[in-house]
Amino acid sequence: MTCIFEQTSTTRRSAGIPTLMTSILSANSEQPAFHDVMIELNSLAKRPVQLSEKDEASLPQVHAMNCLKEIFKSSTLSKKAEVYIADCLQLAADNLTSEV
């Protein structure tokens, strides 16, 4: 999660953060708990973007959404993520009109 806040790139792929996140979660260790990560990513993606952030290259909301997308695409994590489909679809719908 630290990478999400420290990464200054908001490229389409979020500079590898989603791949790093899915790799860590695929290890099936007790920490970090999959549920906790999904809740944290969803919460972070919902945060409003401050006007000053739009001009900067650091938008953790973008990285969080890219991580969620990658989790759903992952063959090892997609089954676990099924429980969160409704919440993430709502998140995507809420951000369709986002300026970011």
Task: Write down the domain spans for the chain.
Answer: 2-94
User: Which residues, other chains included, contact 61 with Cβ-Cβ below 8 Å and sequence gap of 6+?
Assistant: 44, 45, 46, 47, 49, 100
Residue 9 pLDDT level (bands cut at 50, 70, 90): low
User: Quick check: 61 pLDDT over 60?
Assistant: yes
pLDDT for 63: 86
User: Quick check: 54 pLDDT over 90?
Assistant: no
Q: Say how far apart CA 37 and CA 75 lie, in whole Å.
A: 17
Residue 100 pLDDT level (bands cut at 50, 70, 90): low
Cis peptide before 32 (omega within 30 of 0): yes
Of 69, 70, 58, which is closest to residue 100 (Cα–Cα)?
A: 58
pTM: 0.81
Q: Is 15 left (phi over 0), alpha (psi -120 to 50) or beta?
A: left
User: Quick check: 30 pLDDT over 90?
Assistant: no
User: Quick check: 31 pLDDT over 70?
Assistant: yes
| pLDDT averaged over every residue in the chain | 83
Q: Say how far apart CA 68 and CA 49 lie, in whole Å.
A: 18
